[in-house]
Amino acid sequence: MYSLFVPKCRSAVKFGRPIPCSDIVNERGGNLLIVQGVGQAPSLGGGILVKRWATGPNKGQPKPGTVIQGMLDRGAMELRDDGGHWLRAKFTEAGFAAQRLMAKDARILPPGDWKNLIAEIRTA
């Protein structure tokens, strides 16, 4: 299982035709969206893939996006290295506590749309 967090999208293309974002993701408050992979439910426990710099003076160093960097700075996430090309940003206990608060508000995470994530947040 994997979860992919992306900034609010503008558009996407499938089979050469543009697809409105509302058909791809169910946009709810905040700056992050969770996009479900084909045939599987997203999992917070699997972490978020983070690139490394491939060249230049920062070669090999983490290259997190601005949203991930903000969560790292606040202590909501931590980077873990499994020895591969990608790093994984995983939620800390403080990050899961913030997620539990978000899960209590049905306006942020509607239970009908995100029941698998709400169940995972409550058990984490």
Average pLDDT (29-42) is: 51
Nearest residue to 44 (alpha-carbon basis) of 90, 98, 112: 90
Would you state the pLDDT for residue 20?
Answer: 47
Would you state the pLDDT for residue 62?
Answer: 92
Buried b (16+ CB within 10 A) or exposed e, 16-45: eeeeebeebbeeeeeeebbebeeeeebebe
62-117 pLDDT tens trace: 999 999 999 999 999 999 998 888 899 999 999 989 989 988 888 888 888 888 88
Predicted confidence (pLDDT) at residue 21 exceeds the cutoff of 60: no
Predicted confidence (pLDDT) at residue 2 exceeds the cutoff of 60: no
Q: Mean of the per-residue pLDDT values for the chain?
A: 74
Greater pLDDT, 22 or 111: 111
Sorted by where each begins, the domain ranges of the chain are 4-123
State the Cα torsion 121-35-102-117 to the nearest 10°: -20
Q: Return the SS3 of 2.
A: coil
123, two tokens: 């058990």
Cα distance between residue 51 and residue 117, in whole Å: 24
Buried b (16+ CB within 10 A) or exposed e, 91-117: beeebbebbeebbeeeeebeeeebeeb
For the whole model, what pTM was predicted?
A: 0.62
Would you state the pLDDT for residue 47?
Answer: 86
Q: Residue 43 — very low, low, confident or very high, per pLDDT cuts 50/70/90?
A: confident
